[in-house]
Amino acid sequence: MFKKIFLVLYLSLFLTCLDNAYSQPFAYVANFNGTLGNSISVIDTATNTVVGDPIPVGDNPIDVAVSPDGTTVYVSNFDSGNVSVIDASTNMVIATIAVGGGPVGVAVSPDGTTVYVVSNNTDSVFVIDTATNMVVGDSIPVGSTPENIVITPDGSTAYVTNFGSNNITVIDTATNTVVGDPIPVGTGSIDLAVSPDGTTVYVASGGSDSVFVIDTATNMVITTISVEDASNVAVSPDCTKVYVVSSDTTSVFVIDTATNTVVGDPFPVGDEPRNAAVSPDGTTVYVTNSGDSDVSVIDTITNMVITIPVVAGPIGIAIGPDDTITTAISTDSESFQLYSFYDLRDRESFVQVTNTDGATTVHVQIFDVSNLCNENNFFDTYTPSDTHIYNLRDILTNNGSPSGIALGDGAYGFVVVTAVLGSNQPANQAATLIGNFRIIDDSGYEYRTNSQALKEIFVANSEYTINFNTEGGVNSSDIVGITTRDILSGEVTVSDGVTFDVDILNNEEDIFSCSNGIFSCSANTFEYGINDSIPSSRDGSVLCPSNNISEGVVKITTDFHCNTQYFGGYVGLNNSNGRGSMDSLWENLLLR
């Protein structure tokens, strides 16, 4: 989804910041049991309640997949030999597509153009064109009694579990042909999941009481993790955890992907648990319980479990994407973590922090982009309802003591302030801090805007659009950005070398593709202009060189995974003389 920002093309003392709402996605549950089921229940994940009437589909629906844009839901109907296509805006079936006998696993390509359906009875995979809702080409032969399918995030490869032959078939989606030999795994392999960064496939082999871990670069098993009756797997958006459904033990185990070991106690769920799905923000895991006809909801933060009744014998479950990608950044937006831009290149910079909670310790980290993102940091203490202003030229703590940090002329970058419990543990994700920053140029003119307030956790492949034009000698805009990791640790680190795609659209919406950009401290590409018509006011790089469109939209597309977690950026008004204002543009937690 695009997030469009329309910039005011005149300078003002106080720049307005935008507040973007966020609504939780829906979960779709396949009710398998005969006349009592044959339907899809829809759960509003914001309230964890079933909404509307069950959606009638074919006989014994078993699996569900949602298109990447959340507009369409695909359901495999095992006894009907077909796939129901549901319009998510109306929750009505708009098409029914015949496939091979016993359709089970279903997956949608990342670009939304293709649906792959595993046919259990014909040992093959059928391919559906989503534009026509028709099967295209010949079915793809796989192993014996195939069950499920996943597609890598880049859309290049599909993996299929073969229950009868105890192996995994690998499909090249460009040609829809099988590549290489099947990958041997354990007995009773039904389900599998691919990590959001595409590097790893996890296979649940219930008969072997194991989870097999496959390296997608080599398509070889690299380790095996012991889990009793592992029947289903789901990976967290940040790639750090794998949730394993164990039907015999009516529980969900958690694997730490850093060590490939089971950690903590398993979560108790209902009778005959079947499938799991993780919410886009990673805070909730939904598990279908076929024997109890309900869905267990695991809160991954509090470890509490609740249940949601559905219709009958639920098996498949899928969660749609979140429909916005930003957090609130208005003046009254509170957060456990703030991002502020500073600039000491012929300017003065001040960062103001207000603590709205009880006595709080904060970790102040200052990244100097002019010096390869070198970090300086210190801890500070705030009393309830306390406010302090940090002068980046002479940084003092809240009690007036020297911080020990001295930034030289020409330093610029980001200040990150995090509320913490101890040396590097975040207090929580509750709202405790409010911030803003001011930049004063050498003529004494002051530009002010709010700190980016990291308030919610989202997962997204992100596309941003930024309007630009020239009016009265003032251009919009300069763009600065930095990408950080480990935001929940209370001690963020800079992630260097993050690339993104760039397109320019003129007012007629003609698209001009540009070369990929990169936000990198080492490459000194922290600050950009738009194109040759509106260059950086600091004579830095431009997003779209050899392009002279003076009015239109620039689109930045990022696809961050797992370790690259948060992109903070600002866009400003550029009067081409090295002076200008920085206005909040976007902030987005990118966990996958």
Bin 332: left if φ > 0, else alpha if -120 < ψ < 50, else beta.
alpha
Q: What is the pLDDT of residue 179?
A: 97
How many of the other CB atoms lie within 10 Å of CB of 479? 29
Q: Does residue 304 share a domain with residue 253?
A: yes
Q: Does residue 356 share a domain with residue 256?
A: no
Average pLDDT for runs of 10 along the chain of length 592: 25 25 74 84 94 95 94 96 96 96 96 96 97 97 98 94 98 97 97 93 97 97 98 91 97 96 97 95 92 96 94 94 44 72 88 87 90 91 91 93 91 88 54 81 72 55 66 60 69 73 84 79 75 77 85 74 62 58 46 31
Q: Which residues, in sequence order, are CB contacts of 32 under 8 Å at separation 6+?
A: 60, 61, 62, 78, 290, 312, 313, 314, 315, 316
Q: Which residues, in sequence order, are CB contacts of 374 under 8 Å at separation 6+?
A: 367, 368
Among the candidates 319, 347, 374, a domain finishes at 319
The CATH number of residue 254's host domain is 2.130.10.10
Answer whether 104's CB lies under 8 Å from 78's CB: yes
**What are the phi and psi torsion angles at 565 (to 5°)?**
-110, -35
* Residue 487 token pair: 């935001």
Q: Does residue 8 share a domain with residue 68?
A: no
DSSP letter, residue 520: B
Nearest residue to 327 (alpha-carbon basis) of 17, 6, 8: 17
Among the candidates 319, 347, 373, a domain finishes at 319
Three-state DSSP at 207 gives helix
Q: What is the pLDDT of residue 504?
A: 87
Q: Does residue 564 share a domain with residue 510?
A: yes
Q: How far apart are CA 14 and CA 314, in angstroms?
A: 54
Q: Does residue 410 share a domain with residue 277?
A: no
Q: Does residue 288 share a domain with residue 171?
A: yes
Which pTM value belongs to this model?
A: 0.69
Q: Does residue 233 share a domain with residue 142?
A: yes
* Residue 368 token pair: 């100097």
Q: What is the pLDDT of residue 145?
A: 97
Among the candidates 299, 319, 339, a domain finishes at 319
Range of the structural domain that residue 366 is part of: 2-21+326-589
Helix, strand, coil percentages for the chain (3-state, nearest 5): 0, 55, 45
Q: What is the pLDDT of residue 334?
A: 73
Answer whether 354's CB lies under 8 Å from 435's CB: yes
Q: Does residue 562 share a domain with residue 421?
A: yes
| CB hemisphere CA count around 343 (13 angstroms) | 24
Q: What angle do CA 12, 433, 587 make, to 5 degrees?
A: 60
| Structural domains in the chain (count) | 2
* Residue 521 token pair: 């401290």
Three-state DSSP at 35 gives helix
Q: Does residue 358 share a domain with residue 271?
A: no
Q: How far apart are CA 182 and CA 197, in angstroms?
A: 22
Q: How do beta strands 2-5 and 462-471 pair?
A: parallel
Q: Does residue 350 share a domain with residue 301?
A: no
Q: Does residue 546 share a domain with residue 405?
A: yes
Answer whether 355's CB lies under 8 Å from 386's CB: yes
Element (H, E) at 441: strand 433-441
Q: What is the pLDDT of residue 121?
A: 96
Q: What is the pLDDT of residue 196?
A: 86
Q: Does residue 279 share a domain with residue 264?
A: yes
Three-state DSSP at 431 gives coil
Q: Facing residues of 202 across strands? A: 193, 213
Answer whether 161's CB lies under 8 Å from 230's CB: no
- The type of residue at 112 is G
Q: How far apart are CA 474 and CA 574, in angstroms?
A: 6
